[in-house]
Structure 1
Amino acid sequence: MSSFRSTPLFGGALIVDLPSTFADVRYIYPLKPHNSSSPRSSRSLPGQRWLHQHHLRHHRARGRAGSGPAVDGAALTTHLEDIVDSDVDTVKVWNTSNTQFSKLPEGIPAYTLIATQTPPPAPDSKSPDFTAIVLTLIRLERESTDILITINVPHIKGEYTEEEVDMQMGKQGKLIESSVEIAAKIWETF
């Protein structure tokens, strides 16, 4: 597992432990004001240990007012659709669960999903076979705000063991398992 460093976010309003190998993509990729970013554009940078890129974004709350499984689930789906933009038909959600954050007040709804996005075939040999998406949503209803934590995990042929990944059979492989461990550290320290 990676070494982590305490990282201030939003001008220090929030602090979370992130792997030291994660890049702050604000300085690499221009993000739109609503901060959506396509997972297929995520790439590892020279010197990064993993193919993970971390996006933590503040969003206007999505969906109807209130909270509960149906409302929150619809918000999670809407945010995922925003992230993958027009490629929504290439996305498959494999798992959705309630998420517990150690340092957030009790009762704040949080959810995590694991999905994959498969791009159309491309002649570029470094194009991913698919990108796994570990997406966590925190609903701050009183503030009319959603916080998204996204870890994109491109799976490029030759850089992962294909036999270890069969999402249909529940086999996530080492890259996805590592990203879930990183997400768990974020849930503990955010």
Structure 2
Amino acid sequence: MPMRKSVLALVALTSLAFSVRAETQGHYGIGRPATDKEIAGWNIDIGRDGSNLPAGSGTVAHGREVFEQQCSACHGEKGEGGVGDRLVGGQGTIATPKPIKTVGSYWPYAPTLFDYIRRAMPQNAPQSLSNEDVYAVSAYILNMNGLLPADATLDARTLSAIEMPNRSMFTGDPRPDVKNPACEKGC
């Protein structure tokens, strides 16, 4: 029995020592807090209202050039799809048995297009496009969907002002633990 008590005491002391050490180094005793610079490098999300859109602008014409060079291999010459998703068309199909979900038919907020392109495209080199190129490609895709004229220039203000055709077709989240302004009057 005395040997068993000694082993238990040793285990208890060892556990205490590791837990004190872990508390001083973080929860698991590894890593370090991220610096403000590191956080800023990844804190690039754009709100659906356009909050956090960067400075810059892009034209539909420049967007056509960038799309041809960076996007058409996957999304098709006119955004009709291919290896990558279809980006154009589908308006009026969402409530049908065979909906065609594209930027112009399904996406509820235009600024999220900028956010997605900047984060994830082109697929072989995400985050490689300049803000001007992302604004331009966004302008071109919105133009191909009939949501922006061919001579348009897109920037933070104009992108945020675009009303997407499917904006009102989504429903709010009625769960009480989810802050949802759309449900303040009831979902």
TM-score under structure 1 length normalisation: 0.20
TM-score under structure 2 length normalisation: 0.21
**Which has the greater radius of gyration?**
2
Higher strand share: 1
Higher helix share: 2
